[in-house]
Chains A and B, each alone.
Chain A
Amino acid sequence: MPIYAPSLPPAPDLRHGQPPAVVLMRFDLTRLWRQKIGRFFGFAFLAMLLWKIARIYVDHLLNTNQAFKPMQDFARTILTQGAAFQADLLNPASYLLWFLVALVGGGLVARDTLYRVRPLMYAHPVAPRDYLLAKLGFASVLPFAILLPFALLPWLMSLLLAGLSGPVWVTAPLRLLPAMAVSSVLMGSLAVGASSMASTPRAGIGWVLGLVLGAGTLASMIHHLTGFRAIDALNPVLLAEAWPQLLVGVDHPLVAWVPALVGTAAHIGLWTFVAAKRTQPSEAVL
């Protein structure tokens, strides 16, 4: 027989809380942190980041130490310091990042569907737009936060070691950060839209991977059958890689400006619409 407290004191003031979208995002972040998947990807991305920075340091050594002259000549062939190098600061991580987005984002809405907590959220002062904003926000901020050190740390190191003549352009963050934002929102909206169609987190992961790989395969098939290159904008992986290239001005980006704009807008619009429809209170059976 449990021992009950004599009574319950009144709750503190309800006006000092954070906005519901922030509370929901924080809860999802805590949940991710607890999972092993968060630690695994943390190490994986850290290793990649160290590799990137090491390359810049090696470049610095080659440039400043005459003993490395032969190696310096060789290094010039791989460290181009051109636009492609700037765009490439983000791209090597992209496939792993898509995988992380699928693993984490696939369960974001589906887990709430499985546990049937969404109707209970709507019985609290949480509007459907708060819920959608929280899920889109979390799924977009996650890849952005992972990419952020890839854009900033090499730039900072390059600036410290070699000043204006370093391998990373001084203006690179101004071009890479907007590109990261667009790619991250693309990833987040697709993950949330796919997750909203699933009833379990595993099914959500399947939906994200299926949509990403399926759209990519379809685009590739049509491209090769018809020679219509703009159809590559259907492929979200290529789109996410194309934005850094477009904004730093690579000569031959994976997707041209107009198809990239149309494809990205279509993906973000479609998957946000799907998620919004699938998370309405009418779907919430009390």
Chain B
Amino acid sequence: MEMPLIAFENLEVRYPTASVPALKGLSLTLERGIVGLLGPNGSGKSTLLKALLGLLTPSRGSGTVLGVPLGGGEAARLRARIGYMPEYDALIEDASAYEQVAFWGELSGLAPEAARDRAHEVLYFVGLDEARYRPVSGYSTGMRQRVKLAQALVHSPELIFLDEPTNGLDPDGRRRMLDLVLRVHAELGTGVILASHLLGDVERVADQLVILDQGQIKAAGSMTGLRRALARRVELRFLDPLEPAQEAALTELGTVLEARNGLYDLELTEAEPAGAFRWAQARGATLVQVTPRHDRLDEVLLRALHGPAPVLDGGN
């Protein structure tokens, strides 16, 4: 069995000066793949990344990243196997892309000459070729993001954390960055954790999802499994058009989004679509088909955030 990318058991992380923990009892197992990390501001995403990098020690519980226990004395060894692309501009403005990527490679443990060779390779991989000798102060936002990705990849990490990698990019730059993220996983076999507020980005590349709120996991699991578990949009087809009274009573099932020729798009209040058949029987209507509709990721996110209990889907 393949070692999980990340595994937590009742993990709690507390800042020294804070009275309440920043992460509360997280239990989670993530397989190798592209994981989307979602949550509102202050939900604990950055704290989780710090804990995963070994910069914060768990106050309770246990966890492993790439099989290395968190909070042990192996944080430095773990960080050599992880790449991190921060959200903010962490670039050395007076150095060229080539110089700084080689520098970060050396800091990760590469010998000086190997780091220089590797900087060329990785900058070429991210699409910065001729520009790599120019100081980064003259780079466009897209080029700067690619330098940040290059520094995260320079030491061939087994796992990379990408924090808002498409921040400030135009649609074309965004597409290219997401293509790179997909290639990093597909061609290099690198696990990816992608934190983003742009749900479209996460939807496009992630195969697993973790939704955090107030330091707790609200939903976690495979993208398809969570979509299934949190799906509420259905299309109902009745044999005969509904009477006006029956139509009005549809609100008992949920919110009617659209009605046309005996077809009704609904967002159900309950997760279980079988309730629609019971409703039809009670109202004297003949329901012939219930078709699940594609829920947008923002709808899934909001349902997870406002749901009464965490949704954990183990089916990857």
Any chain A CB within 8 A of the CB of B302? no
B91 touches A14 (CB 8 A): no
Name the interface residues of A118-147: CB closer than 8 Å to any CB of B: 119-127
Q: Which residues of A lie under 8 Å from residue B122 when comparing CB positions? A: 8
Once bound together, how far apart are the Cα atoms of A281 and B124, in whole Å? 32
B103 touches A27 (CB 8 A): yes
Any chain B CB within 8 A of the CB of A252? no
Q: Which residues of B lie under 8 Å from residue A125 when comparing CB positions? A: 76-77, 79-80, 107-109
Shortest distance between the CB of B70 and any CB in chain A (Å): 15
Any chain A CB within 8 A of the CB of B112? yes
Once bound together, how far apart are the Cα atoms of A3 and B128, in whole Å? 9
Convert B111-134 into 0s and 1s, putting 1 for each residue whose CB lies closer than 8 angstroms to a CB of A: 110110110011011011100000
Shortest distance between the CB of B240 and any CB in chain A (Å): 56
A115 touches B79 (CB 8 A): no
The chain A residue with its CB closest to the CB of B124 is A5
Any chain A CB within 8 A of the CB of B11? no
Name the interface residues of B233-291: CB closer than 8 Å to any CB of A: none
B125 touches A5 (CB 8 A): yes
Convert B143-161 into 0s and 1s, putting 1 for each residue whose CB lies closer than 8 angstroms to a CB of A: 0000000010111100000
Any chain A CB within 8 A of the CB of B55? yes
Any chain B CB within 8 A of the CB of A224? no
Among B107, B110, B114, contact of A121 (Cβ-Cβ < 8 Å): B107
Any chain A CB within 8 A of the CB of B20? no
Name the interface residues of A162-186: CB closer than 8 Å to any CB of B: none
- Total interface residues on A, CB under 8 Å, equals 40
Q: Which residues of B lie under 8 Å from residue A77 when comparing CB positions? A: none
Once bound together, how far apart are the Cα atoms of A203 and B291, in whole Å? 65
Query: Which of B30-38, B82-90, B204-212, B304-312 contacts its partner?
Result: B82-90
Among B76, B84, B107, B114, contact of A12 (Cβ-Cβ < 8 Å): B114
B187 touches A124 (CB 8 A): no
Query: Given A2-B127, A11-B155, A115-B92, does the pair A286, B46 have CB atoms closer than 8 Å?
Result: yes
Name the interface residues of B1-56: CB closer than 8 Å to any CB of A: 15-16, 46, 49-50, 53, 55
The chain A residue with its CB closest to the CB of B49 is A286
Q: Which residues of B lie under 8 Å from residue A2 when comparing CB positions? A: 127-129
A11 touches B118 (CB 8 A): yes
Any chain A CB within 8 A of the CB of B198? no
Among A7, A18, A116, A121, contact of B112 (Cβ-Cβ < 8 Å): A18
Q: Which residues of A lie under 8 Å from residue B55 when comparing CB positions? A: 122-123, 281, 284, 286
B90 touches A14 (CB 8 A): no
Q: Which residues of A lie under 8 Å from residue B297 when comparing CB positions? A: none
Once bound together, how far apart are the Cα atoms of A114 and B46, in whole Å? 20
B155 touches A14 (CB 8 A): yes
Once bound together, how far apart are the Cα atoms of A66 and B106, in whole Å? 61
A286 touches B156 (CB 8 A): no
Any chain B CB within 8 A of the CB of A36? no
Shortest distance between the CB of B44 and any CB in chain A (Å): 12
Q: Which residues of A lie under 8 Å from residue B49 when comparing CB positions? A: 286
Q: Which residues of B lie under 8 Å from residue A20 when comparing CB positions? A: 107
A17 touches B90 (CB 8 A): no
A9 touches B121 (CB 8 A): yes
A12 touches B91 (CB 8 A): no
- The residue in B109, B153, B187, B188 that gathers the most chain A C-beta atoms within 10 A of its C-beta is B109
The chain B residue with its CB closest to the CB of A34 is B94
Convert A14-49 into 0s and 1s, putting 1 for each residue whose CB lies closer than 8 angstroms to a CB of B: 111110100110010011001000000000000000
Q: Which residues of B lie under 8 Å from residue A70 when comparing CB positions? A: none
Once bound together, how far apart are the Cα atoms of A127 and B162, in whole Å? 22
Any chain A CB within 8 A of the CB of B93? yes
A116 touches B124 (CB 8 A): no
A16 touches B111 (CB 8 A): yes
Query: Given A2-B127, A11-B155, A18-B106, does the pair A120, B80 have CB atoms closer than 8 Å?
Result: no
The chain A residue with its CB closest to the CB of B103 is A27
A-B contact pairs, 17 of them (CB 8 A): A4-B125, A4-B127, A5-B121, A7-B125, A7-B183, A7-B187, A11-B154, A12-B117, A16-B114, A17-B106, A23-B106, A115-B89, A120-B151, A123-B53, A286-B46, A286-B49, A286-B50
Residues of A within 8 A of B (CB): 2-5, 7-18, 20, 23-24, 27, 30-31, 34, 115-117, 119-127, 281-282, 284-286
Beyond A3-B129, A127-B76: 16 further Cβ-contacts under 8 Å?
A5-B124, A11-B118, A11-B154, A11-B155, A12-B118, A16-B110, A20-B107, A23-B107, A31-B95, A116-B86, A119-B86, A120-B151, A122-B53, A123-B53, A123-B86, A124-B104
Query: Which 10 pairs, one residue from A and one from B, show the smallest C-beta to C-beta distance?
Result: A2-B127, A14-B109, A11-B156, A123-B84, A17-B109, A125-B76, A16-B111, A120-B90, A12-B114, A8-B125
